[in-house]
Amino acid sequence: MFDWLIVGAGFAGSVLAERIASQRGETVLIIDRRNHIGGNAYDCYDEAGILIHLYGPHIFHTNARSIFDYLSQFTSWRPYEHRVLSSVDGKLLPIPINLDTINRLYDLDLSSEQLEAFFAARREKVEEVRSAEDVVVSTVGRELYEKFFRGYTRKQWGVDPSQLSKAVTARVPTRTDRDDRYFCDSFQFMPAGGYTRMFQRMLDSPRINIMLQTDYRAIRGQIPYRRLIYTGPIDEFFDWKLGRLPYRSLSFRHVTLDTELFQPVAVVNYPQCEDYTRITEYKHLTGQRSAQTSLSYEYPTDMGDPYYPVPRTENETLYKQYEALAAAFPEVWFVGRLATYRYYNMDQVIGQALATFTKIQKLLPVGTTNQGRLYQAAE
Ligand code: FAD
Ligand code: UDP
């Protein structure tokens, strides 16, 4: 008998397991259908001894000191500022678009001021910026949109940027200076021993039991618990009764080469003709030294594990209907990127999990968990 059943051992589930065990002294069974903890942030050593991210590059960045301090209990850090190049017209150019991107793409020697005027002359007037296309064409114009964003976004999401909400491309700023960092956040680090090691420390408690390769749908009704935290896809929890929420997936090709370094930065984006969207070279993230190097190629797909909620108005509408169903299950807490259908970064999921814990503390004072009903299933 467990006080809590937590479905999913990614950030959402693991942060809550850690908080409940350490702050409430209650017992937790955390399950995951994969054969490891860490969710999409899982990393492992490959055959060449290189620490790779099985589900693509994960760079920790946040402006919230409280979130950085929270994780610092479980890891030390390696300072790392992420830089990305985009392969456009045969050149490797900084993305986000900055002064060097434009000067090198067009063989110019513009100043920041001149670049402002360059963009002003090209940007399109958009009455109301609504779509992922609008964001870019109203900032840098159509030609740069087509070179850097249209092809990448179509590959990544399987739909045209005009069909996606503006939040998707608004994640990538445009700059008129030479700052070539992908993120501007005040805290940018990689966990020194890797993400999986950090998750192991979070879950290292006699009150936390972990069951892997265990699907919630398969054990529903077999394991007794008092309260449930669910971090899987919300439509799946309700047996897709209102229809399927689209989640975009990725297929990864991991390769190791007998060469010390393959590309100048950790990630190179391919917005033009290749099938893949980006290539990651992991040694840049970890600072490891080796005569070999490991890469992953990302091929977006609709098949496979759900990775990304697809930000579109119609999907948001369907999610809201599931959210209304969820409101009828006050003993179940829906948390994380899949259960709340949010295109969240790791720090946002950690923030959401910590905020959920605060609510739990308010609604269920310590010692009252076992006054709830005993559940055997999602009854
Ligand atoms: P997940 O990590 O998806 O964990 C959910 C877990 O629940 C999974 O392990 C799943 O197997 C399990 N599960 C689901 N359903 C069931 C079930 N029925 N039974 C049992 N288990 C179940 N964020 C950043 O901040 N920086 C980055 O650089 C970054 N890069 C990313 C790159 C890629 C390719 C992707 C896909 C995401 C990236 N993210 C990044 C986002 C980051 O992965 C997420 O914000 C974070 O991992 C979400 O945590 P979560 O716990 O909500 O979900
Ligand atoms: N994007 C693009 N070209 C790029 C980088 C990003 O078109 O070179 C778009 C694309 O739609 C992508 C979105 O901007 O999905 C957000 O980019 P981000 O790097 O944040 O994606 P993530 O790391 O979450 O996959």
Tell which atom from ligand 2 comes closest to the C-alpha of 164. 11
In this prediction, residue 378 has a pLDDT band, given cuts at 50, 70 and 90, of very low
Cα(298) to centroid(ligand 2), Å: 12
> Pocket of ligand 1, candidates 346, 352, 357: which has the most ligand atoms within 8 Å of its Cβ, to mutate?
346
The answer to whether residue 375 scores a pLDDT higher than 90 is no
Give the per-residue SS3 of the chain: CEEEEEECCCHHHHHHHHHHHHHHCCCEEEECCCCCCCHHHCEEECCCCCEEECCCCCCEEECCHHHHHHHHCCCCEEECCCEEEEEECCEEEEECCCHHHHHHHCCCCCCHHHHHHHHHHHCCCCCCCCEHHHHHHHHHCHHHHHHHHHHHHHHHHCCCHHHCECHHHHCCCCCCCCCCECCCCCEEEEECCCHHHHHHHHCCCCCEEEECCCCHHHHCCCCCEEEEEECCCHHHHCCCCCCCCCEEEEEEEEEEECCCCCCCCCEEECCCCCCCCEEEECHHHHCCCCCCEEEEEEEEECCCCCCEECCCHHHHHHHHHHHHHHCCCCCEEECCCCCCCCCCCHHHHHHHHHHHHHHHHHHCCCCCHHHCCCECCCC
Q: What is the pLDDT of residue 367?
A: 78
Is ligand 2 within 6 A of the CB of residue 149? yes
Tell which atom from ligand 2 comes closest to the C-alpha of 156. 15
Nearest CA to ligand 1 atom 2: 39
In this prediction, residue 365 has a pLDDT band, given cuts at 50, 70 and 90, of confident
In this prediction, residue 176 has a pLDDT band, given cuts at 50, 70 and 90, of very high
> Pocket of ligand 1, candidates 40, 220, 238: which has the most ligand atoms within 8 Å of its Cβ, to mutate?
40
- Mean pLDDT score of the chain, rounded to an integer? 96
**What are the sequence ranges of the domains in the chain?**
2-80+188-245+310-363, 97-170
Cα(31) to centroid(ligand 1), Å: 14
The answer to whether residue 205 scores a pLDDT higher than 60 is yes
Q: What is the pLDDT of residue 373?
A: 60
What is the average pLDDT across 24-39?
Answer: 98
- Per-residue pLDDT tens digits for 241-286: 999 999 999 999 999 999 999 999 999 999 999 999 999 999 999 9
Cα(249) to centroid(ligand 2), Å: 14
Q: What is the CATH number of domain 2-80+188-245+310-363?
A: 3.40.50.720
Tell which atom from ligand 2 comes closest to the C-alpha of 269. 8
Q: What is the pLDDT of residue 1?
A: 87
Tell which atom from ligand 1 comes closest to the C-alpha of 344. 45
